[in-house]
Amino acid sequence: MSLISFIQEAGEKLFNHPKAAPAAAPAAAPTPDINALNATAGQAIEKYIASQGLKADGLDVKYDGASQTVTVSGVAPDQATKEKIVLCCGNVAAVAKVNDMLTVADGGGTESTYREVKSGDTLSKIAKEAYGDANAYMKIFEANKPMLSNPDKIYPGQKLRIPPK
């Protein structure tokens, strides 16, 4: 159980995040139902997780637009799936934090670390830093599938799982 920070401007664009309202909004403008918008955003993230082929028993995704926080709970089958679900939640535009309330059915395992991609990074460069071997980039690529479909397609602000050596 932890709170993980993400860059809110980076990531998949799953929903339109409302901008701050102008100081003097027209009186006739309808007020958006914040609860409905949050629920729709949570459902969009949950669909994104499912589209990546990731499953957890009792998966529940809640989004709070005011704090730009996703709270995710349920029981993942293993540690890797848990971490991938957290990354799916956080690597979405307009998400700044993920409140990870997931548990692991098999009791867990060795946790990966997370690394934010910076401008100029490649998986080889990240592998060299993490493992001392640039050729170990495929380990990082495999650990981040299915969110990554190509080892050359990473972007600044994205968080990646870095599995232990």
Number of structural domains (the chain) is 2
90 and 159 both lie in a single domain: no
Integer angstrom CA distances of residue 68 from 93, 106, 146: 10, 31, 24
Domain co-membership, 131 together with 61: no
pLDDT in tens, 84-130: 999 999 999 899 999 999 999 988 788 999 999 999 999 999 999 99
Asked if residue 95 belongs to a domain, the reply is yes
Each residue of 6-42: pLDDT tens digit?
A: 765 666 666 555 444 444 445 555 667 899 999 999 9
Query: What per-residue confidence (pLDDT) applies to 21?
Result: 42
Pair 132, 153 in one domain: yes
- 90 and 139 in a single domain? The answer is no
Pair (7, 77) in one structural domain: yes
- Asked if residue 143 belongs to a domain, the reply is yes
Out of 73-77, 106-110, 152-156, pick the least confident: 106-110
More confident site: 64 or 29: 64
Q: Which domain holds residue 134?
A: 112-165
Inside any domain, residue 24: no
CB burial of 7-37 (b: ≥16 within 10 Å; e: otherwise) equals: bbebbbebbebeeeeeeeeeeeeeeeeeeeb
